[in-house]
Amino acid sequence: MNCMNGVCYLQTPTLSSSSTMTKQLKYLEEFRNQLLQFLDELIEQFPEETDLVIIRIFLKDQISVYDIMGRFIRDVLPFQDEIKCRNESFFLENSFLYVGTCMKKIDHFQNLWKSNRLDEHDKTVIWKWMDVLIHISSKYFNLFGHVPGWETREHLKTD
């Protein structure tokens, strides 16, 4: 684990071959790029939600792409069936989506989902972005397994 300024990150795993590493990095970069594009759309739609800008900067410049993928596989991929079924409880009942934020912010984002600021089209777009992220992370997981240090929970299913 690497620690700097009180924040710890997992070390980048070593890989056995350069072609495996190239393929793995391709999935990792594609995942990060899609996540950043998703955040860009949210920022454009909700410019007053300054936390989205902070999250984007943090994901782009401060967090290892391995940590981003590892956390998504561990914490979100187990809910892929809920996401496929468009079960809104995924956004409303899972506080792990907002780790690192205070309860007030969690309530704010959950209330945003319930509010009239998001119409059905907006929600559909968000679900489609989740589909994209699930697709990439599931392919990554099926090819490479979990990211070291981010072991999956027992209920993880990948189809």
Identify residue 53 by its one-letter amino acid code.
V
**pLDDT average, residue stretch 25-36:** 96
Cα 33 to the center of its chain, rounded Å: 11
Residue 156: per-residue pLDDT: 45
Dihedral angle over CA of 13, 16, 17, 23, nearest 10: -40
CB-based burial label for 29 (10 Å; 0-12, 13-18, 19+): exposed
Task: Collapse the DSSP code of 127 into the 3-class scheme (helix H, G, I; strand E, B; otherwise coil) and give the result.
Answer: helix
Residue 159: per-residue pLDDT: 47
Q: Residues 48-100: pLDDT tens digits? A: 988 889 889 989 999 999 999 999 999 899 999 999 999 999 988 876 655 55
